[in-house]
Amino acid sequence: MIDYTHDPAAQSWVESAEDHPEFPVQNLPLGVFIPADGDAPRIGTAIGNAILDLKALAATGLLPDALGAALAEPRLNALFALPAATRQTLRHALFELLTDAAQEETVAPHLHPAADCPLTLPFAIGDYTDFYVGIHHARAVGALFRPDNPLLPNYHHVPIGYHGRASSVQVCGAPVFRPNGQTLVPGAIKPTFGPTKRLDYELELGLWVAGANPLGTPVPISTAWERIGGLCLLNDWSARDVQAWEYQPLGPFLAKNFATTVSPWVVTREALEPFRTAPAPRTAGEPDPLPYLRDPADAATGMLAIDLEVRLDTAAMRRAGLPAHLLSRSTTGEAMHWTPAQLVTHHTSGGCNLAPGDLLGTGTLSGRDPAASGSLLELTQGGRNRIELPGDETRTFLEDGDRVTLRAAARREGFRTIGFGTCAGIVLPSPVN
Ligand code: CA
């Protein structure tokens, strides 16, 4: 529910939060940071240019007792295993501490300068699933491979997805090694093995699961949104030449399992309440979802209004001091064909259990306009059109030294804009050839 923590007029006594484009007191994202003195990783919240140490704050008795044990952990899994109502007391307590000037003297000693504190993966990720709900991406990629039949007939019925690889999910800033793999060069009869020549990114959101459903217990659509604890940015790095050779008949494998980068801050479900909106209506001729994926509340406010962007800078651009080049912008409302709740319900509809800290990728979130595409595969039409960059460079796919940075913000008139921080990674050469 929207409440006093979303009041756009609310101000924190942390001065850098006042005009902060991403982390005003209305956001309060959760993450795991390493204090500058090298102490053990601990849970914190971003406020302006600072990080508030929630482990230390809980130890002082300033947070609800029911949260103390979970906040002493070095990951968010235990916190996201708590009942939703208990978790929501954290947002209210933090908001009150950070907006009440009388608390400054007690709380300020637990603030750390964000610039001095590395951020780590927020969860021990048990499982990672990547969906394919960006309909304009699915249509554009389908058209490259099947010009006459870009969108397969199951697309309007099934939230398409596949089970990904949790072990190679890494946090913003970790390097991405160019993977080796099998590819079939056009015109060749036999495949060859070596570094991918078509390394790409995919602009996605990650949904962090909260709570647990036992094996054999589907999550009904009416309560599925409660199972999303928060969101992050997600880059599903992809080797397109490997993908084209290996994906039939079972789908992505090594083309996707070498790296997935997530942003370190978890923007909570509670923070996103003002930005809930109706999903885009299905157009004429598109069938309605089956009843288990339909819910009046989800149809009214099940989508989120989030603006997304991708930027690229190359090693030469950084040496020349050139700013990162904007590759594309898109929005979730236009891109997503299924809501987060529908993803949870479909994922569990056969009885699959989801655990706290499981990660669900949305799939590439491209806009309708080709210029709003969330991957190079689409922006370059399968490598046919070169992208011109500042400094006289061009690209079709990523080269070593290239850095891809994803950003996102939730905006709505009458509310403070909140941001997601960054999700960045630099491509390094293949470690073994
Ligand atoms: Ca993907």
As a CATH number, domain 128-428 is 3.90.850.10
Q: Please give the chain's pLDDT, 433 residues, in tens.
A: 999 999 999 999 999 999 999 999 999 999 999 999 989 999 999 999 999 999 999 999 999 999 999 999 999 999 999 999 999 999 999 999 999 999 999 999 999 999 999 999 999 999 999 999 999 999 999 999 888 889 999 999 999 999 999 999 999 999 999 999 999 998 999 999 999 999 999 999 999 999 999 999 999 999 999 999 999 999 999 999 999 999 989 999 999 999 999 999 999 999 999 999 999 999 888 999 999 999 999 999 999 999 999 999 999 999 999 999 999 999 999 999 999 999 999 999 999 999 999 999 999 999 999 999 999 999 999 999 999 999 999 999 999 999 999 999 999 999 999 999 999 999 999 987 5
Task: Choose the CATH number for 4-120 among 1.10.10.10, 1.20.272.10, 2.30.30.230, 2.70.170.10.
Answer: 2.30.30.230
Q: Which residues contact 417 (CB under 8 A, 6 or more apart)?
A: 21, 409, 410, 411
Residue 137 falls in the annotated catalytic set: yes
Neighbouring C-beta atoms of residue 219, cutoff 10 Å: 23
Q: Please identify which residue in the block is written with the tokens 């056009």.
A: 186
- How far is 243 from 259, CA to CA, in rounded Å? 14
- List Cα–Cα distances, 340 to 79, 225, 319, 332, 344, in angstroms: 21, 7, 41, 11, 7
pLDDT digits (tens, 9 = 90+) for 182-214: 999 989 999 999 999 999 999 999 999 999 999
Number of neighbouring beta carbons within 10 Å of residue 388: 11
Kindly report the length of the chain: 433
Q: Where are the domains of the chain?
A: 4-120, 128-428
CA dist 32 and 125 (Å) reads 14
Those residues whose beta carbon sits under 5 angstroms from the ion ligand 1 are: 130, 202, 236
Cα 69 to middle of ligand 1, angstroms: 35
Task: Report CA(53)–ligand 1 centroid distance (Å).
Answer: 33
Report CA(364)–ligand 1 centroid distance (Å). 6
What does pTM read for this prediction?
0.98
Q: State in Å: Cα 94 to ligand 1 middle.
A: 34
3-state secondary structure 369-394: CHHHCCCHHHHCCCCCCCEEECCCEE
Residues 137, 325, 337, 347: which is the catalytic one? Answer: 137
What's the 188 CA to ligand 1 centre distance in angstroms?
28
Q: Which residues of 269-290 are buried (b: 16+ CB within 10 A; e: fewer)?
A: bbbbbbbbbebeeeeeeeeebe
265, 22 Cβ separation under 8 angstroms: no
8, two tokens: 């756009």
> Measured in angstroms, how far is the CA atom of residue 256 from the centroid of ligand 1?
8
Calculate how far, in angstroms, residue 384's C-alpha sits from the geometric centre of ligand 1: 21
**For residues 396 and 389, is the Cβ–Cβ distance under 8 A?**
no
Distance 130 CA to ligand 1 centre (A): 6
| Euclidean distance between CA atoms 325 and 273, whole angstroms | 32
260 alpha carbon – ligand 1 mean position (Å)? 9
Identical fold, 4-120 and 128-428: no
Q: Which two tokens mark 307?
A: 């603006």
